[in-house]
Structure 1
Amino acid sequence: MKKIALLLSLSIAGAALAGPAPYYQWRSKLNGTMACSQTPLGAGWEKTAGPYRDARCEKLMVAK
């Protein structure tokens, strides 16, 4: 029982330290429209730039 409690507390602590997912710039293959999203937008889109820290794709993330 103590092992389960320890594993549970360690997993919660790890999740608390995790940051938000990065954003990427995506370009439509159909008409070239640009979008900023954390997740792929579908087969008609290609990733063009990133990762970014903000939802407007303006602040690039610095590699550590």
Structure 2
Amino acid sequence: MAFFRRLAVVFLALAAASLAQGGSAPWYSYRSMVSNQLVCSQVDPGPQFVRFAGPFRNAGCRP
């Protein structure tokens, strides 16, 4: 009986791990309010930048 209990625990752990996989974060193009420079980033580069376009699926911020 202990074998089946362990087997069930292992199965549930593997099932939970497979459900916990996440996708990649989207990329956005940000424009600097100071120099109008464009930056492609997955995270907000800071208060001096404004989100310009996106979301994109690649690091080049191209469709």
Aligned residues: 57
Provide the C-alpha distance between the structure 1 equivalents of 2:46 and 2:26, rounded to a whole number of angstroms: 17
Q: Normalising by the residue count of structure 1, what TM-score does the alignment of the two structures yield?
A: 0.71
Provide the C-alpha distance between the structure 1 equivalents of 2:40 and 2:29, rounded to a whole number of angstroms: 5
Provide the C-alpha distance between the structure 2 equivalents of 1:11 and 1:38, rounded to a whole number of angstroms: 27
Shift of 1:11: 3.9
User: Cα RMSD between the aligned structures?
Assistant: 2.1
Structure 2 gaps of 5+ residues are 1-5
Q: Larger radius of gyration, structure 1 or 2?
A: 2
SS for the counterpart of 2:36 is coil
Structure 1 gaps of 5+ residues are 60-64
The equivalent position to 2:32 in structure 1, one of 28, 31, 42, is 28
Runs of 4+ in 1 over 2 A off after TM superposition: 8-11
Q: Which residue of 1 aligns with 2:41?
A: 37
Identical-pair percentage:
33
